[in-house]
């Protein structure tokens, strides 16, 4: 008999509840330029809240200092510190933060706080590499304590935080009078040269910023020397991958003024810099620092140094493990192409495949070998279009087998980027691209017959999969038969029709079926009339065991998926890729796929996995529609610490006591041995046996 109590039904946690975006126009523009705007519209609404969750409130109360960001009477942002005994930060309720403690000597914001001031706060615990952010507006100041109405609260990942522990307090008080200059002096340069941490404050106080209005302060970390001193008034720093919210850079795109704070953890000196920021998005200089996604050049206008201002003293430092993957300002002798690096590709050929459908062939502009990819993956490209403030970033599925020399994408003319390619891309011109990516790939181990099923421009991943299978000489398992089924409206709208028919003649284990839904006249030797639907599949597919791959418009995808499930095709035998807003709703049972009006049946044990939460003495049956293990834990009332919810920060790392997990989308964060990042993980197996169960230390 199970010793675990049944899991209670719980309301899913709330994220950003407002219809209006939590980001202002500058942040959205930065996300657009980085190609993550649509993703952040989903992820940020999970991670950003208009209240402080309980774990953040407890965290703030434990800290002996807090980093603050605000603006002075001229609108200049500054980053500062406020210190006190643990407990000086309190949260009377989830919407209110109260800061007691005291300002430090030389604090440029000490006399500028007033009711109505915007404030950004960063609670950071270097020893544990934890940090949480809070932004809001001051509603009261009494007895030197500041009360803030919280407008945004969210966690930050642990990346690049150096571990050091406060070991005592200095009895020596610092001077109230900072040393002020309009340039860096030798002592400033020495501190910057050995610094591994700084804080940056920025702001957008415009009334047009909507719910993104406010001040912000964030952390930056790197190897000593990562702050490059160009001259007495110029610094340059790498900008590494983060939570992709682009709060700081978004503010700087609106107002380039910023405030930097560098702490001397040995002496307690604080170095404040008023700067103007210049964002370097691309170019050889960015590529010279391994791990940098862009650079920020800081033009120094004012320097303030207060000696011995921070009373805390600190242990030795343990550098963040992520720094091992970052470089230095010396360009490496050999450069490796990585997924987050934009590189130049040259158009080598353009060919028309069908009306409004054109293929573009690319090769490396420098003549080097192109990174390999799996059939089904996509190529991110960046187009600099005259007249647009930011480049267009799109992803297009690669439509051919990888040969190391060329990439091919096949593009239907619809939308701004696709139209620009059709009208402007010619042999010899250059575009920019990142390394291919994507989770929709061909499974090469089963040996079962394969059905490549598509409609419209959804043919692109299918032709890549087919050509890869036909060209494979590696000795890997091959499908016993390949069925290529594609639907178009008319015969002239079938891309690659001649290529497909030639391949069918050359390979006895390939069957090609082209279907036309609106044809006036059909050449029976090449195609047939009607839609690609389940009835048609039943007419052309022999009785057998198949792996299905689907791609096409939304309605087509859902009809195919639901129809296959109604025929008892196992869910894990159906893999799909959708274009545009197309989305396929998976079902937990074949019956539910076609009987949606009936009550939801008990979960099929063969299509689910038992998840045990050991500490809380609960267990429940997980199915694919439950999402990640983090979502599943929260839905079952199991408390879990989390921040980014996107596989970056590592906060949700949970020990896996038994069982196996997998990641539908690879995680960027480091996964400790024996643990899982449950915000991105799901059970690796399904079935009624114990081998499918996952036991978590929760």
Residue range 396-403: average pLDDT? 90
| Tens digits of residue pLDDT in 307-351 | 989 988 888 899 988 888 887 886 434 344 444 578 899 999 999
| Tens digits of residue pLDDT in 597-624 | 333 445 666 778 999 998 888 888 898 8
Same domain for 614 and 588, yes or no, is: no
Residue range 398-424: average pLDDT? 90
Same domain for 70 and 115, yes or no, is: yes
pLDDT at position 475, please?
65
Residues in contact with 110: Cβ distance below 8 Å, sequence separation at least 6, in sequence order:
80, 103
Q: Which residue has the tokens 């000490």?
A: 110
Residue range 196-215: average pLDDT? 94
Question: Which CATH number fits the domain that encloses residue 150?
Answer: 2.30.110.10
Of residues 668 and 392, more confidence is placed in 392
Q: Is 423 within the bounds of a domain?
A: yes
Q: Which of 433, 462, 487 is the last residue of a domain?
A: 433
Q: Which of 320, 335, 352 is the last residue of a domain?
A: 320
Same domain for 128 and 261, yes or no, is: yes
pLDDT at position 244, please?
85
Query: Cα(293)–Cα(375) distance, rounded to whole angstroms?
Result: 27
Q: Is 331 within the bounds of a domain?
A: no
Same domain for 682 and 617, yes or no, is: yes
| Tens digits of residue pLDDT in 2-22 | 233 333 333 334 578 788 889
DSSP E strand stretches across 464-613: 482-488, 510-516, 528-529, 546-552, 574-578, 609-613
Q: Is 4 within the bounds of a domain?
A: no
pLDDT at position 225, please?
92
Q: Is 18 within the bounds of a domain?
A: no
Same domain for 84 and 224, yes or no, is: yes
Q: Which of 16, 206, 230 is nearest to 118 (CA)?
A: 206
Same domain for 583 and 625, yes or no, is: no
Q: Above 70 in pLDDT, residue 355?
A: yes
Q: Is 326 within the bounds of a domain?
A: no
Full residue range of the structural domain in which residue 271 is found: 25-320
Query: Cα(442)–Cα(450) distance, rounded to whole angstroms?
Result: 10
pLDDT at position 579, please?
47
Same domain for 531 and 579, yes or no, is: yes
Q: Which of 594, 614, 630 is the last residue of a domain?
A: 594
pLDDT at position 271, please?
97
pLDDT at position 581, please?
35
What's the total number of domains in the chain? 4
Question: Which CATH number fits the domain that encloses residue 526?
Answer: 3.40.50.80
Band (644; pLDDT cuts 50, 70, 90) = low
Q: Is 14 within the bounds of a domain?
A: no
7-16, 183-192, 658-667: segment of lowest average pLDDT: 7-16
Find the helix or strand (DSSP H, E) in which 42 lies.
helix 37-47
Q: Is 492 within the bounds of a domain?
A: yes
Same domain for 689 and 620, yes or no, is: yes
Question: Which CATH number fits the domain that encloses residue 633?
Answer: 3.10.20.30
Q: What is the DSSP letter of 315?
A: -
Same domain for 89 and 169, yes or no, is: yes
Same domain for 569 and 615, yes or no, is: no
8 A C-beta contact, residue 563 and residue 453: no
Question: pTM value?
Answer: 0.55
Question: Which CATH number fits the domain that encloses residue 387?
Answer: 2.40.30.10
pLDDT at position 333, please?
42
First to last CA, the chain: 21
8 A C-beta contact, residue 636 and residue 620: yes
Q: Is 11 within the bounds of a domain?
A: no
8 A C-beta contact, residue 607 and residue 586: no
Same domain for 266 and 291, yes or no, is: yes
Same domain for 678 and 535, yes or no, is: no
């Amino acid at each position: 008999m199970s010793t675990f109590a049944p899991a209670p039904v719980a309301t899913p946690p709330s994220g950003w509840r407002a219809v209006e975006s939590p980001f202002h126009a500058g942040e959205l523009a930065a996300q657009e330029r980085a190609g993550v705007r649509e993703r952040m519209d989903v992820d940020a609404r999970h991670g950003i809240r208009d209240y402080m969750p309980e774990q953040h409130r407890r965290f703030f109360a434990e800290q002996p200092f807090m980093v603050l960001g605000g603006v002075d009477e001229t609108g200049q942002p500054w980053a500062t510190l406020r210190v006190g005994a643990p407990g000086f930060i309190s949260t009377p309720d989830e919407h209110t933060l109260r800061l007691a403690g005291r300002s430090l000597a030389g604090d440029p914001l000490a006399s500028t706080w007033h009711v109505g001031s915007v404030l950004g706060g960063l609670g950071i615990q270097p020893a544990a590499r934890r940090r949480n952010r809070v932004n809001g507006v001051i509603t009261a100041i009494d007895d030197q304590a500041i009360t803030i109405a919280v407008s945004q609260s969210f966690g930050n990942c642990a990346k690049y935080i150096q571990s050091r522990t406060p070991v005592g307090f200095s009895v020596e008080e610092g001077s109230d009078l900072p040393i002020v200059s309009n340039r860096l002096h030798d002592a400033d340069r020495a501190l910057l040269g050995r610094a591994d941490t700084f804080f940056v404050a920025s702001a957008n106080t415009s009334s047009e910023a909507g719910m993104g209005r406010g001040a912000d302060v964030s952390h930056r970390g790197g190897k000593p020397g990562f702050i490059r001193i160009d001259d007495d008034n110029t610094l340059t720093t790498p900008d590494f991958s983060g939570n992709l919210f682009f709060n700081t850079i978004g503010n700087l795109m609106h107002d380039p003024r910023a405030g930097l704070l560098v702490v001397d953890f040995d002496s307690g000196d604080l170095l404040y810099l008023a700067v103007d920021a210049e964002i370097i998005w691309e170019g050889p200089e960015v590529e010279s620092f391994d791990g940098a996604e862009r650079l920020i050049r800081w033009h120094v206008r004012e320097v303030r140094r207060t000696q011995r201002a921070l009373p805390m003293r600190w242990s030795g430092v343990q550098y963040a493990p992520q720094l091992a993957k970052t470089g230095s300002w010396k360009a490496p002798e050999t450069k490796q192409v990585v997924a987050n690096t934009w590189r130049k590709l040259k158009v080598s050929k353009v060919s028309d495949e069908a009306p409004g459908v054109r293929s573009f062939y690319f090769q490396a502009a420098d003549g080097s070998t192109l990174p390999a990819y799996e059939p089904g993956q996509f190529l991110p490209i960046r187009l600099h279009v005259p007249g647009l403030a930011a480049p267009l970033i799109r992803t297009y599925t690669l439509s051919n087998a990888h040969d190391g020399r060329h990439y091919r994408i096949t593009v239907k003319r619809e939308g701004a980027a696709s139209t620009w390619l059709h009208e402007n891309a010619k042999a010899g011109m250059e575009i920019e691209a990142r390394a291919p990516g994507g989770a929709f790939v061909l499974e090469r181990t089963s040996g079962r017959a394969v059905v490549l099923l598509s409609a419209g421009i959804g043919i692109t991943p299918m032709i890549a999969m087919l050509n890869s299978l036909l060209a494979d000489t590696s000795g890997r398992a091959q499908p016993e038969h390949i069925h290529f089924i594609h639907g178009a409206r008319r015969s002239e709208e079938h891309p690659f029709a001649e290529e497909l028919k030639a391949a069918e003649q050359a390979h006895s284990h390939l069957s090609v079926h082209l279907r036309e839904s609106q044809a006036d006249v059909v050449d029976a030797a090449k195609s047939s009339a009607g839609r690609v639907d389940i009835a048609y599949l039943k007419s052309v597919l022999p009785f057998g065991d198949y792996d299905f791959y689907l791609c096409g418009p939304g309605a087509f995808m859902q009809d195919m998926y639901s129809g296959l499930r109604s025929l008892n095709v196992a869910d894990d035998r159906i893999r799909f890729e959708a274009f545009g807003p197309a989305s396929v709703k998976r079902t937990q049972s074949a019956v539910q796929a076609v009987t949606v009006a009936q009550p939801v049946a008990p979960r099929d044990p063969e299509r689910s996995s038992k998840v045990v939460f050991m500490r809380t003495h609960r267990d429940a049956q997980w199915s694919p529609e439950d999402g990640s293990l983090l979502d599943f834990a929260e839905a079952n009332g199991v408390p879990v610490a989390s921040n980014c919810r996107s596989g970056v920060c590592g906060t949700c790392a949970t020990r896996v006591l038994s069982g196996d997990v997998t990641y539908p989308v690879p995680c960027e964060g480091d996964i400790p041995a024996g643990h899982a990042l449950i915000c991105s993980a799901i059970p690796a197996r399904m079935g009624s046996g114990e081998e499918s169960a996952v036991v978590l230390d929760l």
